[in-house]
Amino acid sequence: MTTPPPITGEDLDPATRAVRYELTTLHFRLLDAPAALAGVQPWVTAPEAHGELLGCWTAEHGRLGRAYVLRAFDDDAELAAERARAAADRHPFGADGQLTDLAMQGFAPFPFVPRVRPGRYGSVYEIRDYHLVPGGLPATIDGWRRRLPGRHVVDPVTVVMYALDGPARIVHIWPFAGLDERVEIRRDLYTTDRWPPPGGPEHILEADSIMAWPADFSPLA
């Protein structure tokens, strides 16, 4: 397994804080999953593409017919250039009639969270999406700064990031060896008062959790 980079709670260098992420949700009919995924890797790694493919997962719990693509960009300009490429393409993400919908959302990392490193971390990933109350982001970041370094030692996080537009939101992604491990780790963190972060739950308006499995070509696996 790949060793994740450490998290200390201290703000990282400007170049790391300037990184932008994009989490894209592909919607498709259930029987079209193989065809919908087939074009993703060629499209995001084409010579004219910007950014780095980090992960691609398909959902097996909750609402089905979804795939999630995580990419990293060096800064806002690179993200904007890739958005322009997608807007001008008749078949973004290599889709040729299989997609029923497509949503691309931009994020910035919490200032103390390292850039995502591809590698082997777990066979199943949890994507948690928190819609925050207005003005809830600063307190959320402060609470995570205090608690995430300790949790990261026993339960490494892939990324924690906040939305650049739309409602106030954070998305965090966690790898696990399996669903049983996820339940055991979270139960232990709660019973030993190592989680949740102080001030965090009070600012959550709605929360969603997606359990997803890496595609064969996903750099995060």
Domains (range + CATH), the chain: 14-214 (3.30.70.100)
Q: Are 75 and 20 in contact (CB under 8 A)?
A: yes
How would residue 81 be classed by pLDDT, with cut points 50, 70 and 90? very high
- Cα torsion at 20, 45, 66, 73 (round to 10°)? 0
Q: What are phi and psi of 25, to 5 degrees?
A: -110, 120
pLDDT single digits (tens) 149-197: 999 999 999 999 999 999 999 999 999 999 999 999 999 999 999 999 9
Q: How far is 118 from 138, CA to CA, in rounded Å?
A: 28
Whole-structure pTM value: 0.97
Confidence of residue 60 (pLDDT cuts 50, 70, 90): confident
Question: In terms of Cα–Cα distance, which of 28, 72, 66, 25 is closest to 49?
Answer: 72
Q: What is the arithmetic mean of pLDDT over 36-59?
A: 97
For residues 133 and 127, give the distance between their C-alpha atoms in angstroms, rounded to a whole number.
20
What residues are paired with 108 via a beta bridge? 162
pLDDT, residue 120, reads: 98
Give me the mean pLDDT over the 20-27 stretch. Answer: 98
Q: Assess whether pLDDT exceeds 90 at residue 62.
A: no
pLDDT in tens, 24-35: 999 999 999 999
